[in-house]
Amino acid sequence: MKLLLILTSGLILRLIGLNQSFWLDEAAQVIESSRPFLQQFNLAADFHPPLYHLLLHFWLKGGSSEIWVRLLSVMLGVGSLVYIYRLARIRLNQYLSLAVTLLLAVSAYHVYYSQEARPYILFSLLVLVSTYYLMKKNYTAFAVSLIACWYTSYFTLFLLFGQGLVVYFQEKKDIKKFITAFFVSLLFFLPWLPEVKRQLDVGFGGSFTGWQEVVSFGSFRNLGLTFARFSLGRLNPDNNFLYLLLVSPLAVFALWSLYESVVKRKFTEYAILFWGPFTLAILISFFLPVVAPQRLLFLLPFLYLSIVSHLGGVKVVLYLLIFISLASLAVYYYNPLFQRENWRAAVSYVDQTKTESLAVFAFPEPFAPYQLYARYTPAIGAAVNFRVEDDDLARLSANLSGKQKVYLFDYLRELTDPEKKLELEIEAAGFRESSVNNFEGVGFVRTYEKQL
């Protein structure tokens, strides 16, 4: 009954605000997953394997509204609650198992990505499934779940590092079974390797200056930001003292539980499963800028398991973590600043015009959310090579012919048009800025009207 209550509460928390606008990555995901079946394997521009794309492809047969699309992730998020409980029960008593399940149920960060139409929550679930079967020593099921992990996220490599350490230090007699399962899973992943190479060629092909800073973060920043995200979700308080005050408990409890694991040599598997992959990811990020907190979401359950296994009996620890999570969720639910980019409102504003108009983006093509939401106002991308050049300006000038209004989106324009060439070209064509509207996450949309 208590588990059912926690699962129900977790479900409700993940349903609140599910109708937010799709943001950039989600809209791109929906567009990609809407393509014909065979095209789901053409993912050169998206650094992810195809499993989530395939699941969403079939899920979209039931509809494409924000709520329906995200319900898939909600179900996966609730499934994670089931499996963290099952995993905990292998070593912990019922009270501690329920406690760790409750922590994950109310986690602001886990809730956020249980509402996101992206692969992160699927990977988080599969990681728990694979670790569950590893702990149960069911190596056939472990190998199958590993295959699913490989086809969901390349961060399976970090997971295997942690799992391998656990087997080596605690179950050496099973090391051959673990290695066999690993190679079996890798064998099934081999057909995807050519696509991995294509993705790497695209991802590190120097698309444009500053993009890596957008999709990833510096190594040392990753260290602190991951704990901040795990503690507060997407919240980012302006007051640095308050920020530190709210993040410190999780970091302190994490280090405390690590110390307890080393000194008492109890429940060390949980500490290894978190700190092993986490440390490796931070080290790798010095050389490959691919690490970001959302890609480490799969480690959050292990962090909670490590803390609860050592400190779960200290109720003030649980109460404090739950309070911080619920407070963070409340702010997330009621403050649009911490929600997703409001492209739906921005596109609706542009689409309401009754005159000949054009939307302009400083990108090779209109951003995915605009393509998804726009119904009436045509749009062009005015930075074919990720930098506004003379050919782009000439093409823009030709497209302005006969238009009465132009909507210039500032979204990511500081990367592709730092010299503000687009607005100068628009003004040179006889348009004058009449208004500027700000939409949460999207930024400024500048309206220009033709001067008679």
Cβ–Cβ < 8 Å for 436, 447: yes
304 shares a domain with 431: no
Q: Is 231 in the same domain as 357?
A: no
Residues 307 and 355 in one domain: no
Residue 347 and residue 299 in one domain: no
Domains: count for the chain? 2
Question: Across the beta sheet with 431-439, what order do the strands follow?
Answer: 379-381, 357-361, 405-409, 443-450, 431-439
Q: Both 160 and 219 in a single domain?
A: yes
Q: Based on the fold, state whether residues 136 and 188 are members of the same structural domain.
A: yes
Least confident of 111-125, 128-142, 256-270, 355-369: 256-270
Q: Tens digits of per-residue pLDDT, 171-181?
A: 889 999 999 99
- Please state the φ and ψ torsions of residue 208, each to the nearest 5 degrees: -165, 155
3-class DSSP assignment, residue 123: helix
Which phi and psi angles does 435 have, rounded to 5°?
-165, 160
Q: Where are the beta strands (DSSP E) in 294-404?
A: 357-361, 379-381
Q: Is the C-alpha dihedral spanning 234, 240, 287, 302 positive or negative? A: negative
Percentage above 90 pLDDT, the chain? 75
Q: How confident is the model at residue 19 (pLDDT cuts 50, 70, 90)?
A: very high
Mean pLDDT of 129-148: 97
Sign of CA dihedral 52, 55, 61, 62: negative
**Do 327 and 414 lie in a common domain?**
no
Instruction: Convert the pLDDT of each residue in 202-221 to its tens digit.
Output: 766 555 555 455 445 555 66
Given a cut of 60, whether residue 319 has pLDDT beyond it is: yes
Domain match, 350 and 314 both:
no
Q: Could you give the CA distance from residue 343 to residue 374 in angstroms, rounded to a whole number?
A: 10
Q: Which of 282, 306, 338 is the last residue of a domain?
A: 338
Distances (CA, A) of 34 to 116, 171, 375, 378, 404: 17, 45, 18, 21, 34
In eight-state DSSP terms, residue 437 is E
- In this structure, the answer to whether residues 388 and 366 fall within a common structural domain is yes
The residue out of 338, 353, 380 marking a domain boundary is 338
Cross-strand partners of 437: 445
Residues 446 and 357 in one domain: yes
Structural domain boundaries enclosing 292:
2-338
Q: Is the dihedral of CA 36, 40, 44, 46 positive or negative?
A: positive
Q: Work out the mean pLDDT of the chain and round it to a whole number.
A: 91
Q: What is the largest CA-CA distance in the chain?
A: 83
- 231 and 371, same structural domain? no
- Choose the final residue of a domain: 306, 338, 370: 338
pTM of the model: 0.93
Judge if 143 and 61 occupy the same domain.
Answer: yes
pLDDT, tens digit (0-9, with 9 covering 90-100), for 155-193:
999 999 999 999 999 888 999 999 999 999 999 999 999
* Token duo for residue 281: 């990811």
